[in-house]
Amino acid sequence: MPTFLQSYDPYREVPMAEYPVPSATEQAEAVEACARAQQAWAIRPTGERVAMLDALEAVLVKNRKEWAECAAREMGKPLDQALAELDKCAWLCRYYRNHAEDMLAPETRLDNAEDGRAYVRYDPLGLVLAVMPWNYPFWQVFRCAVPAITSGNGLLLKHASNVPGCALACQEAFAGAGYPPGLFRTLLVGSDAVEDILKREEVQAASLTGSEPAGKAIAEAAGRVLKPCVLELGGSDPYIVLRDANVERSVQIAVKARMQNNGQSCIAAKRFIVEASVYDRFVDALVAELKNTRIGDPLEDGVDLGPLAKADFAEDLEQLVQKSIKAGASLRYRGATPPQKAFFGPVVLENVEPGMPAFDEEAFGPVFALIRADNPEHAVRLANKHRYGLGASLWTGDLDRAAVLAGQIQSGQVFVNRMVASDPRLPFGGVKRSGYGRELAREGMRAFTNAKTVAFAALDRS
């Protein structure tokens, strides 16, 4: 078990800070304090809990630049994207401030003389253990924590070990907004501590965003103690471009959809399935667009691509590329790569087919896997030929056909003539091995509540 977690700058290749890991006794005390805070919090009127979101938004706005720089330093995110991430967290607070009270209000289901009266109320479960990834160190936490806490739960955060500064900033945000002490608690622990925390009686549910192996581990641990969980796991999102699409626009968005967060996003476009009649045009325009990519210090304005979060991620990505080439893919373009070990310049692979790592695996970095489709039906079959089903982007000028094809694509969300993106107003999650459960919108607000039926007998009027 580690005795400290280290914050490390992948661009400057220097450690930033060390944070002590709490002892087992300290962890237990934190869980118990969170449980006490939650019990008092749960009985407060819903309107009071919802109103706290105004102060939380204000704290995010106040600390926006400092916390964005923390994310850029700890995991290499370009600063403008980190700032946008903090802005999105603030938007989340505003959205739920306006809608959460209605989402949590009791719903009448029966009310008549014969059957009596019955309603459903949405009560909190207790403590939620949130196991969160490094790639969106604020957004991933807030999209889980805001609805969970607003619905009356307490939250224990086990963040990724390489972003401890961001993890503590998340705790600081809730404390600074005036939430009860201990209601949101960051535990700077390693993954080896997760199962023991989940076993504790006070913890009633878990949420994990991360890899497929991590999701399996959490699901197995939660299953052993019969606790529900929400899992958002890997993705190898198809980006389908049909012959009647606006090819030039699809290319512009393709670059953004693949390169967001240095290519390290579960919902980044990864498999580019292009109908044969426009394939060459798409690839030529894509390569031309990528040549304008600015790679460098994530803290500098205008940088499109910073380093990957860790140097070994770049090594893993290089192996995926080389194995795919060995299996028959061809290298069409490779962008310049700075000398820092964590950098990985954009790569375009052509002739990618099922069975190659670039098709079958989740390439967590700026690798564009190009696949030629014979027709729209073939494109959908290729899109579905994968164990993941998180998101999909479909480009076509025929919106009626898009609606039909969207129903055939196996994914949690399909965006037509747009890149896939999470939105507080829309439920978010996957199918197949991309996980289960939903975050955001009404579904996310109720994810960690007990839909409790309360029924009254009809009055005896005899």
Positions marked active-site: 232, 266
d(CA 202, CA 207): 15
Select from 133, 126, 139 the least CA-distant residue to 158. Answer: 133
Backbone torsions φ then ψ of 199, nearest 5 degrees: -70, -20
Question: What strand order describes the sheet that includes 107-112?
Answer: 107-112, 116-124, 449-456
d(CA 84, CA 64): 9
Cα-based angle 250, 262, 422 (whole degrees, multiple of 5):
65
Cα-based angle 411, 315, 14 (whole degrees, multiple of 5):
110
d(CA 422, CA 429): 9
Select from 171, 162, 80, 88 the least CA-distant residue to 130. Answer: 171
Return the axis-axis angle of helices 164-176 and 139-150, rounded to nearest 10°. 30
d(CA 434, CA 232): 6
d(CA 411, CA 430): 6
HSE-up of residue 461 (Cα within 13 Å, Cβ side)? 5
Backbone torsions φ then ψ of 10, nearest 5 degrees: -70, -20
Q: What is the dihedral of CA 129, 134, 136, 142, to 10 degrees?
A: 20
Strands 229-232 and 203-209: parallel
